[in-house]
Structure 1
């Protein structure tokens, strides 16, 4: 039997991949962030409608960009972290030839939509902002169905976002450069409980 010498043992990526394949059969999606497994439920219809809504707005105002759904990203500079954001906004062809876990250098914005599960707070509001800031992704857009709000994280630096703006659904939300889009979030009220 192997003896672990670290206080917080980490899982190998291949072990995670085997578990993730089995989990997909159980209607959950797994992520590997900071050596830990994160579990989130398979998205529901309203979740999908929100991603469609964001994608449509991005295409309308920035046709040079594409919102890639569930694109795996390497999210940590010095650790074996991997995440699959609900959406990753980048130029067409940004992930060609990169495989399952792409370099986030070309990502202008990641989008997450909260799920109705017990881990959403830790995953989407605590761990993901740190992981995405460490990866220096310029904008993290969190659509929080529990709170009925949209949070825009921007200006990554020193492993955190310097600017965090939260507005309730119904307000206009500015996605700063390099994204440069303003969203009227009134329609989001239709997709939250």
Structure 2
């Protein structure tokens, strides 16, 4: 198993170098290379970021986009669309932040990532200790906030239609306006 993990990590690093203009992740033990996000996808991330900026400045938190997460002992390596972390971040290496030190991880669903963002990643993020996982799905017209991570998955889910308010619990204590996330 150790040799397989080293081989996967080597292939991942080489793939990252080869496809530096793409998003490269290890998802469920497979290397996934995706096109960079569309303008609409980037708009959703931007509108979320703009709602978070006041609280980030107030609490000296940082927001990163397209940054890789280290998911503890799991082989997977994800690059979420947006993460919020306390400053300074706890690094695994120069390119990966420990997932369990995040405050919020967000994925904006695209057609090629639907199963991974809705099914695979929630289980992995929960097992890695990510406290809040926000999934924004403009195509389905919904946002899901998963919280209370455990080794078997998140134990709480709040789902809203885009256009409805979505409350982020503590430490955010913030209501997101989701109408700006609609297609």
Please tell me the TM-score bracket, short chain as reference: 0.7 to 0.9
TM-score, length-scaled by structure 1: 0.83
Task: Return the match for 2:138 from 129, 145, 151.
Answer: 145
Counterpart pick for 2:80 among 66, 80, 85: 85
Q: 1:17 aligns with which of 10, 13, 16?
A: 13
Name the structure 2 match of 1:30: 24
Map Cα deviations across residues 56-105 of structure 1 (whole Å, 9 max, x no partner).
Answer: 11112342222211111112x33322111111111233257841112123
Structure 1 or 2: more helix by fraction = 2
2:170 is aligned to 177
Match of 1:100 among 95, 102, 106: 95
Q: Give distance in 2, aligned partners of 1:140 and 1:156.
A: 9
Where does 1:62-73 land on structure 2 (aligned, <5 Å)? 62-63=56-57, 64=59, 65-73=61-69
RMSD of the alignment, in Å? Answer: 2.1
Greater C-alpha Rg: 1
- Partner residue of 1:46? 40
1:55 aligns with 2:65: no
- Structure-1 residue corresponding to 2:181: 188
Decide which of 113, 118, 139 is 1:125's aligned counterpart: 118
How many aligned positions are there? Answer: 178
Q: TM-score, normalised by structure 2?
A: 0.87
CA contact (8 A) 2:90 2:97 kept: yes
TM-fit CA distance, 1:40: 2.6
Deviations 1:131-184 (A, max 9, x none): 110111110001102201111000101231111121111100011223322101
* 1:33–1:83 CA contact under 8 A, matched in 2: yes
Shift of 1:116: 2.9
How far apart, CA to CA, are the structure 1 residues paired with 2:26 and 2:169? Answer: 28
Structure 2, unpaired ranges of 5+: none
